[in-house]
Amino acid sequence: IIHDNAVYGLTTGQTSPTAPKNFKTKSTPEGVIEYPINPLTLALSAEATLVARGFSGDIAGLTSLIKEAITHKGFSVLDILQPCVTFNHEMTFQWYKERIYYLTKTYSSTDKTEAFKKALEFPKSHNCPTADKKIPLGIFYRENRPTYEEELPQIKNTSLVNQLIENIDVSDIIAEMS
Confidence of residue 22 (pLDDT cuts 50, 70, 90): confident
Considering the entire predicted model, what is its pTM?
Answer: 0.82
- CA 45 – CA 51 distance, rounded (Å): 11
pLDDT at 173: 86
Element containing residue 56 per DSSP (H, E): none
Confidence of residue 132 (pLDDT cuts 50, 70, 90): low
Using alpha carbons, list the distances in angstroms from residue 135 to 100, 118, 143, 149, 166. Answer: 5, 9, 22, 35, 56
Mean pLDDT across the stretch 69-92? 90
pLDDT 10s digits, 149-162: 888 888 878 888 88
- State mean pLDDT over 72-82: 96
Would the pLDDT of 79 be above 50? yes
Chain mean pLDDT for the chain: 88
The DSSP secondary-structure symbol of 10 reads G
